[in-house]
Amino acid sequence: MARMGRSSRAGKSSDRGRGAADATAVTDQGGRTHAQGPLARPVDSGLAELVPDRDRARAWSLLIDGAPQSMVDLADPAHLGFEYQRRLGHLIDLVAPAGRPLTVLHLGGGALTLARYVAATRPRSRQQVAEIDTALTELVRAELPLERGWQVKVRGADARAVLERTPEAAVDLVIADVFSGARVPAHCATVEFVTLAARALAPGGWYAANIADGAALAFARAQVATLGAVFPETCLVADPAVLRGKRFGNLILAGAHTPLPIADLTRKVAGDAALGRVEHGRSLTDFTAGAVPATDATGGPSPEPPPGVFR
């Protein structure tokens, strides 16, 4: 689950619902009943809120304890409302020719936004999601149901535990979007963790991760070094203000054993509504600034967001 995602509307993380209002039940064309108005429910990780979008009739933002997680548009599952999700979407678009089905392992599920995106843009894809918060998954499945026929299996388990059980060379793409509270947990941000992800990848497969950092960017620099200890090809995508330490926010990392399509990724990022920059090669080495890889023995979680970051 991501925490620092911002919607495409400038200056706001999301349009947050007030209070714990019950939802108005409606029935969709498939005969399924789900929420129409704001809804708040306690889940394992805190208070989950589903807030209807002001601009898109069937779109919802998910918040946990006030922190924006993701946005889902039931009418258009290929729409990615948060900038970090769009950047992960660019990687999904580029990992294989358009329309080709993928086998994807999502570590962290949230509202299943990226699993929906893969299913919508790459029909017949097979996907597994590791989401430790089973109560959240039940809420999302009930109120924001997946379309019938999508091959998306959600496991209620720790992300690393699922990764450890994933067979070798089994998936085309591993997406790590793992947050505990507002922080990336230490055990999902180490060389050992990334090595497990690399083992799970089929030849030509990619690893992608969403992390959050700010100020001195010590965690982000260590994570770049961590990926570089496992993958010969790496890149980073983020808002220039985040890269300068001027704003706390999301950074997207990618790693592979084969060359990444940096030029194509740069064009996609440049065409996005949110300002972004791709770091690769020498510029990424300079960004790392001598940081050492995080290991199970030395690594720690990402930093707490500063007060007021979600307001």
The domains of the chain are located at 77-288
* Amino acid in the structure at residue 107: L
Burial of 111 (0-12, 13-18, 19+ CB in 10 A): buried
Angle between helices 262-270 and 83-94 (to 10 degrees): 140
Count, in order, helices (H) and strands (E) of the chain. 9, 14
Predicted local distance difference test score (pLDDT) of residue 114: 98
Nearest CA-CA partner of 71 in 56, 81, 58: 81
Query: In the β-sheet with 67-73, what is the strand arrangement from edge to edge?
Result: 39-43, 46-52, 59-64, 67-73
Predicted local distance difference test score (pLDDT) of residue 197: 98
User: Which residue ranges in the chain fall short of pLDDT 50?
Assistant: 1-34
Cα angle for residues 254, 249, 48 (degrees, 5° grid)? 100
Which SS3 state, helix, strand or coil, does residue 79 take?
Answer: coil
Pair of tokens at residue 114: 């990226």
Predicted local distance difference test score (pLDDT) of residue 3: 40
Nearest CA-CA partner of 147 in 177, 176, 125, 131: 125
Cβ proximity of 62 and 110 under 8 Å: yes
Pair of tokens at residue 234: 């790496």
Handedness of CA 115, 284, 160, 6 (dihedral sign): negative
Burial of 188 (0-12, 13-18, 19+ CB in 10 A): buried
pTM: 0.89
Question: H or E segment at 47?
Answer: strand 46-52
Burial of 42 (0-12, 13-18, 19+ CB in 10 A): exposed
Predicted local distance difference test score (pLDDT) of residue 181: 80
Q: Which residues pair with 105 in a beta bridge?
A: 128, 174
Predicted local distance difference test score (pLDDT) of residue 182: 85
Burial of 115 (0-12, 13-18, 19+ CB in 10 A): buried
Cβ proximity of 59 and 52 under 8 Å: yes
CATH, domain range 77-288: 3.40.50.150
Pair of tokens at residue 272: 């996005």
Question: DSSP per residue over 234-267, as a string?
Answer: EEEEE-HHHHTTSS-EEEEEEEESS---HHHHHH
